[in-house]
Every structure is written in structure tokens, then in C-alpha cells.
Chains A and B, each alone.
Chain A
Amino acid sequence: MDISRFEKISNTEWRIAPFGAMRAPGIIYATESLLVEMDDKVFEQVTNVAMLPGIVRASYAMPDAHWGYGFPIGGVAAFDPKAGGVVSAGGVGFDVSCGVRTHLTGLSRDQILSVQEELADALYAHVPVGVGSEGDIGLDTAEMTAMLTGGAKWAMERGWGRPEDLERIEEQGCVDGADPAAVSDHARRRQRREMGTLGSGNHYLEVQEIVEIFDEAIAASYGLVRGECVVTIHCGSRGLGHQIGTEFLREMVVSSEQFGIVLPDRELACAPINSELGQRYLGAMRAAINCALANREIIGHLTRQVFAHFFRHGELPLMFDVSHNTCKLETHDVDGEARELFVHRKGATRAFGPGHASLPEALRPSGQPVLIGGSMGAGSYVMAGIARSELKAFSSACHGAGRRMSRHAATRTWSGRQVVDALRGEGIIVKSPSMRGVAEEAPGAYKDVRAVVDSAEASGLAKKVAYLRPLICIKG
């Protein structure tokens, strides 16, 4: 990335002054070294997003930003429907509400290591993972509709979760405004046997050790204790979400002309929020969010079943569940005025600061947990939302390490077997149906997650709470 095109606001904030058709500036939060490493497409996509109607304040990018579809991955942009604002299927992505949840176990590293192999095998056998895998839960039409409107609440009511889980999930586990009628038959068919499945690619289930604590008070309020272990699950809305993304992207590309929206890039396909297409997309997207929340709740339930087999008191309370591919209606203060905005976070996580009303009472003083996945080798972080993030990027933070190497290049650099063996040498058991899939997810293919979270903290987006290292990694 050529950084001479930026105005340096601080060591971790870079501004692109509006030029051409941009309606707002672009702002990238990153250290200079992360910014230099970013591909030029990020600059192009941040500035393209800034050209969309109704954008408020700025087009943002997080420290892990990289080339996406229209929006950069790691992109944040809010739109005001009263100003002709748009909603973009590309700004949400193909895996609607892909996200991360972390369960506490209260178990020590030694307790996990005493059954590490068997636990890894059991998780791999019990949680459907990888291409072609199927869940045991088949949904008829009525149940599918109930799931699309009920989300994690629906799953809990069916016995695949606990009531106390819901307050630990964004939107209490169920978003309003889902419209099952906007979900196509193709999308429903794709989901038929995929409830409670992990998927593949960069999705995973990890048993992780809490290795380092950065903020003792917040860690304590989250229930994080050094030396204890957690279970983290990363996946999204599965086939239903992918089909919704596919269909609406296509429809929006073709329709934008009729709305008089000049797209600087076809992938930025969007529709005015206050249009039939925009509303229909929002209805379908919210249904997909509920599907993702239900899916992670079911996988959490399956994980609890496995742990109960090995550990008598395997309660696994849910610490928190975040989503990072969404467009949410939120109220934000803009220049002293409360405005209802549609905030797109594409590969970015919501990060409400302390005191936010949506947070459960136990977490409210600390701010929202923000779960940042790294790579199998590098580990992950728990961060906390902070007040400054509101003015910085509508309370948003990064979501992961971001890739530094394509899948194509990764499979030419490493073999899956090599990666599995190397990680085993470090005490990490990796289970996956595909060695090529493992190679594509090799730790070396990802940026340094520590650099990303340090940058996010320095930028005022969130603060570090804990660092986690995997002991078991199940991937698809």
C-alpha cells in the first residue's frame, strides 16, 4: 500500500480525504507497518464504499483489513435511510453473521491434557464438520420458519441450549425483523441438514488455554482465569446464509441501475434501505443471522454433551457470542443528534463499551467481550469494547488476523501433514477431514494476530483482556 495517499492523523489512524465521487472520508485504523502490508485493493474499496449514498461520517477499515467483495473485509460503514442510505449484500458477505462464541470450562490445562487425544477424537466425531457433513436435526417447513424467526432462542426452547445463554448472545440470541418469506426455497433446502454443523474453510472449534491476562478486573468479570481452558466455536449461517448472499448479490447488481445508483464497482451491489429490495434483503439477512445464532447454540450444546462425558461437572457456561458479518440497525450519536443507522460490519466485530444497555448486567461495567480469532498456531485474543470506539468507528473492532497469503499460495508452501505434525510438536492436536484444507489454514498464511490486536488497542477500538492458545483444533 502506498501510504503517501493518506493523511496521518496519528500512528494508528490514517485518513483519505474525499476525492472524486466520495461523499465522506476514508479512515483506516492500523499501525504504519500493518498499513504498508495491506494490498492496494483496500484503499480502492474503502474509497468506493465512501461513494455510496447516505453514508455517515466515514468509510472505515480495521487493522486486519484485506481485499473483499465491494467492501474490504474489515470494513465498517453506516448509512442513514433518511438520507437515501443503502444496504449492501456485499457489505455483509456470503457467510451472514459468521461469528465466534466462547464457553468457559473451569477446567485446567492439565485436566484437558489428561484426556487430550480422546477429547479431540470425541469432539471430531460428535460435531459434524467439513464438506458433505450433516447434522442430526432435520427441519420441516414449520420448524425452519420457527428457527429463522427464533434464532438461538428457538434452539434453546427445543432443548439445544440453556435459557441463561441468551443474554450472552448479541441481540439476546434472536434479531427482530426476520422475514422467513424473503428466504428462498433454495436457501431452505441448502440448510435442511446443516443445523449444528461447523462447515469448513476457516471455521473451527478449539479448546484453548488462557495463557495471558492483560486486564485482571475485566478478565475476572468475564470469568477468565489464567491456566483454565475455554472452548471457542467459529462458524456462521451455513448453506442458508450462503444462498441468501448469492441470490441478493445477484439481484442487487442487476437492480442498482434502476435505483440510479452508480456503482464504482459492481461488487458494491446495494439497494436503498427504503426500497422493496432493500427491505426484503434486510428481512432475509436477519433470518440468516438467526440461523447462525441457532447454529452456534446447537454446536455449543453438542460440545457440552462431549464435555459432560469426560468431566462430571462440564457445564460450559457461555461467556459471549459475537457476529462479524452483519448489517444492524443501531442508534448512534452523530454530532449531538441521535440517529438510527444501518451499520455494516464486514469482517468486523461490534464492540460496545462499558455501560451499554444491550449488555447483560454482569458484563455491563466491563464492556462487551470481543473475540478475535488468530490462527491454529498463533492463538486468539479476547478484547473488551471501550467507550472511545464509539466515536472511532461506531463501536467496532477487528475480527481476526486476516490472511497474508492466498489459499493457492499456502498449499504450494506447506503440506497439511507438515502443519499437523508441527502443531502436534507444540502440543496442539489438529483434526480435519482434509490435509489440503489444513495447509490452506496454515499459521504462516495469516498475519500476526498480536500486531492486529495491539493496533486495534492503540487506535482506541477495543482493549486486550486475554490471550488464548489452542490445545485442540477441530477444523473442516
Chain B
Amino acid sequence: MSRRLPRTEGPWAWLAAGSVALSLLLLGGLLLLLAVRGLGHFWPASVTLVELEDGRLLAGQAVRELPLERQAGRERLYFTGNRDLDGHVWHWLPVATIVASERPAELVVLERRRHGAFIGRLVAVGEADSLASAQSREAAWARLEAQLAELQELRDERERLRRDVLRPLIRRLDARPDDTAARQALAEANARVRELQQAMGGQAALLESVDGRRLVQPLDEVLRAWQPNAMSLGEKVGAWSQGVWRFLSEGPRDGNTAGGVWPAIFGTVMMVLLMSLLVTPFGVLAAVYLNEVAHQGRLTNLVRIAVRNLAGVPSIVYGVFGLGVFVYGIGGTLDDWFFSDALPSPTFGTGGLLWASLTLALLTLPVVIVATEEGLARIPVQQREGALALGATRLETLTRVVLPMAVPAMLTGVILAVARAAGEVAPLMLVGVAKLAPQIPVDGEFPFLHLDRKFMHLGYHIFDTAFHGNDVQAALPLVYATALLLVLVILVLNLTAIFLRHYFRSRHGVQPRP
């Protein structure tokens, strides 16, 4: 009797399994890279004090290590800050030339409004003109923290004044220039702001880089200060979560290389909201027409296939259409008719929020139509027959029976459309996205929502910061963080859509098109 050989599948089956594994590996690798680099940026990394062979001293955060070009050994990249002292913020050091490295607790990192970060020692804090006397390290640090907290309060106060008092007064004066009461109030508020400004100045810190150069830093330019080597794990976690929060809630600084992405989040959300307001009714309308009203013949089927195919047309083509029809065509005409006093600078004849939303609505219409149609086709035909048999008209059948049952499908379609729109960048480059929009499209000025304004967008922010920035190396961590944010938003939207579709299918079962 021959031994029974195990039935084997041969090499190709294993290669097929390998391609599944490779795809998973690629996807996981991409997500992991984004998560680690994006979230790691906010961690207050330790600062290393490095002594080199030639006696130079450097303090900085080690970023990464690479093998040397055409030589044995490795080199390490340090972020050393101090752009005002050194002229640059990065140092590549061959590892072999490093004699000693330690992490002294007294090193401070200051985040400043100008020149970026400072890394070094704190000597003294006090009035700008009497800084000579050296203080003990603890006393100087405690004083710095107190001063910074006080400054933050003053800054908040000034922001509040500007927002709540100054801007409304200016608007009142714009409307009625002879309003003397408002004029007086404005003068008072301005004086108060000047007072606050004055209170902010005056204080300064005497800083010393690790190689002994000193500089006097006015404190009103310092945003935050920390001593990373002296922080405990809990403090670091706290600083990390504050960093994440600031990234989400602040505007960009330093040519998009620092600060946060709040205007980009806001612009993306506004654009997507407007787009879904446009796409939902029209998409549902077209789907209802195709599935419930139109005669189901060859022509309808052709139209159905064509609509489905439009989902596969490249997004850049939609962008070209938006630019040619919305911006130059309709926008140019609107400018000629209503905004001719502002010409030749265009109002609607250039890219803006409205045109971007319209273009993306057109781009995502096929998605909504296809998803809604699928939902409508799944509704058992008996439901419609029952309603009609009870004497309902077609409209009543539609609004009372068919549409309520198709709501999850519509929702799925809209969510998929939103997920697609949030990730599209190419058409936006043609119809209205901006590198840096100082004004977000919503404010207290009439008509509150400015559809003609350009806006910032998360996806375009990634492209622009990564490819057109001055210091890509410095901006890279923020690009990672922005990319992670965008991916998370889109993944959550898609998961919701998948869940909804699954729920809907399992509830109604599969009904093939009759």
C-alpha cells in the first residue's frame, strides 16, 4: 500500500497568499509610519549635550542616523535650534567625532515667535535693562514660568478685546462714520490694547547657548518653555497632549513650518459640508428618477452605465471643468454683472469656496447616485405594490415607503462622497485652494459666510508644505501629523459607510433587480 501523499497546492497558491501578505505589510507599514512620525513629533524629546573632538559643544535633539557617503562610519542629524545665533537649525555630525554626550537637566527649550526654537541655558529673567545679576537656576526657571503664564493671560485678554470689542466697533463705524459714541469707545479700547501691549514688553530673559554665546530674549516673543531632560514621564505625556491640541487648534506660523492646522481643518470641513448640502438632494433626485420614474428601457440602462463610468473619470478632469465653467464662465459673468467696480481684481472670477464645493459636488454625484440606486433596487417590490394597492399615489409611495427605507443607502452614499471629497486635492488646485488664507471663510462680517474667499485644505496643505516650503526638513513632522489626521478622518468615514451598508444589507436581505 502506497503512503498517501498530502495533497499540495503547488507554488502558485503560495505566491497568491504571499501577495495578500505583501499588501497587508504595505498598508500596515504606511499607517505605522504616519502614526509614529506624526504623533512622535509632539513628544518633548530629550536634549543631548554633545562634545566634539575639536572641543566644540552642541546641544540638540538627535533626529536620525545614516551611514556616511563613501566612508566607513555613520553620521547623526541633530536639531539644534538657535537660528538667530547659528543661521541654521540642523547639524550633521559624524558619530566618530563625538567624544562625550550627556543630558544635563538644566537645558531649556524655548519656542519663540521669531527664529524658531532656542536650545541652551537660562541665566536670568527680569527687566530688560537690569539683567546682569546671575540668578540661581531654580529661581530663574520659576520666574520664567510665572512670567510666561502672566504673558499668556495678557495675550488672551488682548485677543478677547480685539474680538469682542474692537471688531464690532469698527463694523459699526464702517456702517455709520458719524457715530461719535462708537468712535470714543474705539479710542478707549485701543488705548487698553496699547496698555496691554506695554505690559507685555519690558521683561526679558538672558540666555546662553551651550558654547557660551549670550543673548537677551524679550519674553513677549516666547510662546512656551520647557526643560525636557528634567521632565518626568507624566509631565511629558501632558506636554505631548497639549502639543497635539495646539496642532489641532492653532494657525500655522513661520511659513507653515510650525504651529497648527486649524484653518486647514476648518476649510476642509466647510468645503465638505457645502458639498454634501449640494450633492445629497441632487444625487437622490437623479437616483429616484433613474430607478422609480424613468421607463426601464435600453436608454435608461445606458444612462445608468454612463453615470457609473463618470465615477471613474479622473478628478483632474472635473477640476478642469470647474475652472472653465464655474470660475471663468459663471464667475466671470457674475463679476461683470455685480462686482464690476472691483474689476480687474476678480471677486467670483477666481477660485473660491463656492466653486470648489460645486466642483467636488459634481465629482461625487456619481458616488451618491450609484449608492442610492443600489439601495432603492434592494427594496422589495412588494413594498411598493402594497402601498399602491392601498390607494397611495406614486408620490405618496415614494415619500412614505420607498425613501424612508432607502435612507441608510443614501447616508452610505453621502459618507462615501464626503470621504472621497476630503481626500481629493488635484481639482482643488485649479478651483480655489490657497497656500495660506489669512481669513477663514466664516466671520462676523455680513454676509458671514464668504463663498468667494479662498480657503485652506488639509490635503493641499500636505502637498504645499512638503514641496514648496523653505525648510522641508523642519516642516516634515507637521506634514506627517497632517497626513495622519487626514487619513484618520477618511478611514473613520469609510468605516462608518461600511458598517452602515453591512447593517442595511443584513436587515433587508439581498433583492436582485427585477
Question: Do A and B share a complex?
Answer: no
